[in-house]
Amino acid sequence: MWIETLQQAKRYMKIVFGFTLLAAGVVMLITPGPGWVTIFVALGVLAAEFVWAKRLLENLKKQGERLRNTVLLRRADGA
C-alpha cells in the first residue's frame, strides 16, 4: 500500500510539473524566454502520462522536420 501511494504521488508530481512547464512556456511565447523549448520539454514530461501529449509532441516533431527539410532545400538551391 505504501508503494502504491508513493507511485501515485510521483505521478501527480509529474503531472503538476508538466502543466507548470507548459504554462510557463506559453507565457514565454509572449515574454522573453525559450518558450518553444519549454513547451517541448513540458510535452515530453506529460507524454509519459497522457496520450494526447504524446500525439501532439509527435505531430510537432513531424512539422519541425518538414520545416527543416524545406529550409535546407531552399538553401541548397541557392535561394
Round the average pLDDT of the chain to a whole number and report it: 90
**pLDDT of 56:** 93
Query: What's the CA gap between 10 and 12, in Å, rounded?
Result: 5
Reported as a single tens digit per residue, the pLDDT across 40-57 is 999 999 999 999 999 999
**pLDDT of 15:** 95
| H or E, element range at 66 | helix 51-76
Domain regions of the chain by residue span? 2-76
**pLDDT of 73:** 79
- Neighbour-count burial for 48-64, b at 16+ CB within 10 Å, e otherwise: eeeeebeeebeeeeeee
**pLDDT of 78:** 64
